[in-house]
Amino acid sequence: MRARRLSLPATLWHLALALAFALLFAVVGSGLLRAQDRVQEPARRSAAELMDVLMWNREPVGGAFSLIDHTGKARSDADFRGQLMLVYFGFTYCPDICPTDLQEIARVVDLVDKDGDAIQPVFITLDPERDTSEHLAAYVPLFHPRLLGLSGSAAAIRQAADAYRVFYEKVATGGEDYTVDHSAFIYLMDRSGRYLGFFPPNTSAERMATIIRPHLPAR
């Protein structure tokens, strides 16, 4: 009897102690992990949050960027004043959505502005590591002779993407390989560089043309 009376509280005490330590480690451990994440990269907004921003026009979209085009020339948003801009963010290794949207962007340019320069299509890479200017030079002309490919430092790309509320994230696919998850909206900017709106991924050239035409200068 005596042994039992003694052993029960002792077990409880040990259990309580073990629980307390587990809790302490969990709290301290998760705090450390979070601190580590912050050091590596600041917390990014989720794809859903950024989509919400765009859907309901909660924040201004677009703005200043300074990047390098596929011919090696420095480019900023101010270079395109006087033209409508169609801005698309993606990466050349994208297997699927990017090429499809870039084809439609190329088609809409021919539909509304075949021989003019009223509209400037712009492709900004979200994978500057692999999409150098040289690499873009071999890629963008496959879609349209007037499509401008823009790359730059990781920080310059992040700044441009943030301005357009673009979600993107490098995702490892095994070994050294990676892909880039990204939102794929097509942005329409007016002739003074102001944001008019976005087209969702997979919008047809014909649909875009209907919406773009009223914004073109009268001829």
Chain contacts with Ni ion (rule: CB under 5 A) = 90, 94, 97-98
- Minimum CB separation of residue 81 from Ni ion in Å reads 28
- Minimum CB separation of residue 151 from Ni ion in Å reads 15
Distances (CA, A) of 175 to 27, 147, 179, 207: 33, 33, 12, 41
Minimum CB distance to Ni ion smaller for 47 or for 97: 97
Orientation of helix 205-212 relative to helix 97-113, angle to 10°: 50
How would DSSP label each residue in 23-38?
HHHHHHHHHHHHHHHH
- Minimum CB separation of residue 94 from Ni ion in Å reads 3
Cβ-contact 133, 156 below 8 angstroms: no
Q: By beta-carbon distance, which residue lies closest to Ni ion?
A: 94
DSSP 118: S
- Minimum CB separation of residue 46 from Ni ion in Å reads 18
One-letter amino acid for residue 2 of the chain: R
Minimum CB distance to Ni ion smaller for 112 or for 166: 166
Report CA 164 to chain centroid distance, whole Å: 8
- Minimum CB separation of residue 159 from Ni ion in Å reads 20
Q: CA end-to-end span of the chain, whole Å? A: 103
Minimum CB distance to Ni ion smaller for 97 or for 211: 97
Minimum CB distance to Ni ion smaller for 80 or for 89: 89
Minimum CB distance to Ni ion smaller for 46 or for 100: 100
